[in-house]
Structure 1
């Protein structure tokens, strides 16, 4: 994967807090930004998977019930 540089213009207090967070996590601001962008990029995959599951639930699953060979009393016997 090719890497490219970008320039961001951010408020100085945000940069200061980002540096503190990065230091606490023993990482870099670049790694924090990369992690964040990867997480929001992955959310599209999640949304697509959720939509597919929703459609499947609406459609329903083919289910069969076999012959009933028990009675209600049988299920309550101890």
Structure 2
């Protein structure tokens, strides 16, 4: 995969924490950030796919076995 360098501005406190976590995982800051961004994109794409799948499912509707006819009145259903 072709790579391109970028300039990134981070608060010093955050950069210090990122360096510490990357060092704990024995990774460079670049590698740590790259993997973090890839994971975030994967999660976002997964969410979009799941949302799209569920919307299609809802649009198809559900077979409730009534064939479009409601056989009971609201009053009988909630008879008190």
| Alpha-carbon offset, residue 33 of structure 1 | 0.8
Give TM-score scaled by structure 2 length.
0.62
* Structure-2 residue corresponding to 1:55: 55
Q: How many residues align?
A: 62
| Alpha-carbon offset, residue 47 of structure 1 | 2.4
* Structure-1 residue corresponding to 2:26: 26
Q: Name whichever of 25-34 and 53-62 sits farther off.
A: 53-62
Unmatched runs of 5 consecutive residues or more in structure 1: 63-78
Unmatched runs of 5 consecutive residues or more in structure 2: 64-80
Give TM-score scaled by structure 1 length.
0.63
* Structure-1 residue corresponding to 2:44: 44
* Structure-1 residue corresponding to 2:8: 8
Which consecutive segments of 4 or more residues in structure 1 shift more than 2 A? none
